[in-house]
Amino acid sequence: MKIYRSIFFLLLFLMLHKNGFSQETGKPFLDFTAVTTAGQQMKLTDLTGKVIFLDFWASWCKPCKEEFPYLIKLYSDYKDSGFVVVAVNVDTDRDKLDKFINNLGTDVPFTVVIDKEGKIPDLYKLDAMPTSFVIDKKGIIRYRHTGFELSDKETYSKEIPELLNQN
């Protein structure tokens, strides 16, 4: 009987942790202040009024390597319409971040944030890399994406214009 009770509480904890603590769609984003790779301080609330693609990534993450070039294209396609990308890097070693960016073979035109201490991912309660949040102009999380597959390109290409066209 003890084993069943232990399993019950473990399952209850996991269910509450998964559903109760992660940043949810339909809720306002959690604000943070961070330092960019250019050494400037940025605050997420300063971007309210734009559609924000908040992406968490790491240099060791294979799907991140596939996603990042697409984020550059996505940003280039919509930047003149009020769209911004904030890419939060979770590496503890700046050299790994720099190597990742250099291996892209192109400039990264959007904001890349360094978070060596992992405070921002903890704030958003991530469970995988990459994890992305698409935030509307009012600061509400409309979409959450975990991982990256080629089919996500089509999804993003629908979500971004939809939010850009909202008042």
pTM, two decimal places: 0.85
Q: Is 86 helix (H, G, I), strand (E, B) or coil?
A: strand
Share of the chain above pLDDT 90, in %: 77
- How confident is the model over 93-108, as a mean pLDDT? 94
pLDDT at 9 over 80: no
Rounded Cα–Cα distance for residues 21 and 12 (Å): 13
pLDDT band at 16 (very low <50, low <70, confident <90, very high): very low
What DSSP character marks residue 90?
-
Q: Is 87 helix (H, G, I), strand (E, B) or coil?
A: strand
Contacts of 157 (CB under 8 A, 6+ apart): 74
Separation of CA 10 from chain center: 29
User: How confident is the model at residue 10, as a pLDDT?
Assistant: 39
Helices 62-78 and 152-164 sit at what angle, rounded to 10 degrees? 30
Mean pLDDT of the chain: 87
pLDDT at 18 over 90: no
- Nearest Cα to Cα of residue 43 among 52, 125, 130: 52
Write out pLDDT tens, residues 36-75: 999 999 999 999 999 999 999 999 999 999 999 999 999 9
User: How confident is the model at residue 19, as a pLDDT?
Assistant: 40
pLDDT at 1 over 70: no
Share of the chain above pLDDT 70, in %: 86
User: How confident is the model at residue 116, as a pLDDT?
Assistant: 82
Q: Where do the domains of the chain lie, and which CATH numbers do they carry?
A: 24-164 (3.40.30.10)
Q: Is the dihedral of CA 164, 113, 77, 64 positive or negative?
A: negative
- How confident is the model over 26-32, as a mean pLDDT? 93
User: How confident is the model at residue 3, as a pLDDT?
Assistant: 52
Q: How far is CA 49 from CA 20, 123, 139, 157, in A?
A: 28, 22, 8, 20
DSSP one-letter string for 15-40: HHHHHHSSPPTTSBPPP-EEEETTS-
Write out pLDDT tens, residues 122-133: 899 888 999 999
pLDDT at 23 over 80: no
Burial of 132 (0-12, 13-18, 19+ CB in 10 A): buried
pLDDT band at 13 (very low <50, low <70, confident <90, very high): very low
- HSE of 143 in the Cβ direction (CA atoms, 13 Å)? 17
